[in-house]
């Protein structure tokens, strides 16, 4: 079955006005993502990457243009419908993990499930399954402070995956990690993308991270200056998984991990 883009944005404009400062954070941005694709968004600090994620996922309102997710125009949805949709179909991973410090790994992952209306029993089983998936089956009772940075980020990924979202948005998911933990987290995200056919849009400053994705979208000063070229054989093109994630296929050398854009 041939399907359209899972994320589609056209002519999106977003302007922040605070006191006397006006910032055009997104200028006439058009953007599409194919189901199952793993896209990296790169660009200098302040170029609009986080704004793009927030506007595409409906976390933040746009001033003009259109955003559709799975064929549904976000502006036609009520706030409640949009929140429900986000809770059931989208997962979010942030640079700072954002785990609740007084809850165990298990409880952090259970939380979105309970909030989505699942019984405690279902939440418990599903959270344990997701923690297993990210390799933390033996750390379920640990508090965040009792975990390494990479482990905390893996808990955050398990939490983002709790509801089996169609789309996972990640804003610099390896930004706080050393290179070893960063590559473990990226290997995990790539594996999840390949095995579970979920769509990933991730913001990164790291050329090494960009190099393992299917496509790199580049932003500068509120505009998409390059929508990138989908790598043939990427997840989006593969009917039954097994797509390789050979790095460097679209020109970025994995040997050059940082683009030092900050």
Q: Which residues bind ligand ATP (CB under 6 A)?
A: 16, 18, 23, 25, 43, 45-51
Angstrom distances, CA of residue 199 to CA of 52, 171, 196? 16, 14, 9
CB-nearer residue toward ligand ATP: 31 or 34: 31
Residue 50 binding Mg ion, by CB under 5 A: yes
Picked from ligand ATP, Mg ion, none, the partner binding residue 47 (CB below 5 to 8 A depending on kind) is: ligand ATP
Picked from Mg ion, ligand ATP, none, the partner binding residue 25 (CB below 5 to 8 A depending on kind) is: ligand ATP
CB-nearer residue toward ligand ATP: 151 or 204: 204
CB-nearer residue toward ligand ATP: 7 or 161: 7
What minimum distance in Å lies between the beta carbon of 182 and ligand ATP? 16
CB-nearer residue toward Mg ion: 50 or 163: 50
Residue count, binding to Mg ion (CB under 5 A): 1
CA dihedral 181, 185, 191, 192 (to 10 degrees): 160
Torsion angles phi and psi, residue 155, rounded to 5: -60, -45
What minimum distance in Å lies between the beta carbon of 67 and ligand ATP? 15
Do residues 208 and 254 make contact, with C-beta atoms less than 8 angstroms apart? yes
Picked from ligand ATP, Mg ion, none, the partner binding residue 248 (CB below 5 to 8 A depending on kind) is: none
211: left (phi over 0), alpha (psi -120 to 50) or beta: alpha
Torsion angles phi and psi, residue 211, rounded to 5: -65, -20
Do residues 49 and 209 make contact, with C-beta atoms less than 8 angstroms apart? no
């Amino acid at each position: 079955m041939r399907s359209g883009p899972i994320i589609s944005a056209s002519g999106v404009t977003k302007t922040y006005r605070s006191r006397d400062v006006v910032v055009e954070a997104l200028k006439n941005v058009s953007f599409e993502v194919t189901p199952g694709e793993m896209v990296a968004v790169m660009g200098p600090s302040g170029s609009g990457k986080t704004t793009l994620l927030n506007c595409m996922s409906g976390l933040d309102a746009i001033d003009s243009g259109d955003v559709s997710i799975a064929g549904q125009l976000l502006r036609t949805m009520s706030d409640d419908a949009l929140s429900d949709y986000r809770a059931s179909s989208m997962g979010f991973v942030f640079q700072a993990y954002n785990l609740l410090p007084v809850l165990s790994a298990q409880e952090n992952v259970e939380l979105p499930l309970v909030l989505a209306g699942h019984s405690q029993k279902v939440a418990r089983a599903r959270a344990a399954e997701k923690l297993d998936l990210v390799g933390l089956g033996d750390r379920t009772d640990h508090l965040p402070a009792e975990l390494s940075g990479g482990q905390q980020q893996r808990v955050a990924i398990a939490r983002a995956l709790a509801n089996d979202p169609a789309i996972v948005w990640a804003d610099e998911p390896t930004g706080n990690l050393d290179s070893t933990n960063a590559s473990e987290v990226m290997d995990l995200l790539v594996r999840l993308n390949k095995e579970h056919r979920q769509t990933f849009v991730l913001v990164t400053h790291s050329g090494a991270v960009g190099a393992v994705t299917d496509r790199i979208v580049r932003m500068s000063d509120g505009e998409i200056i390059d929508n990138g070229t989908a790598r043939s054989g990427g997840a989006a093109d593969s009917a039954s998984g097994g797509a390789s994630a050979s790095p460097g296929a679209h020109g970025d050398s994995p040997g050059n991990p940082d683009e030092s854009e900050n």
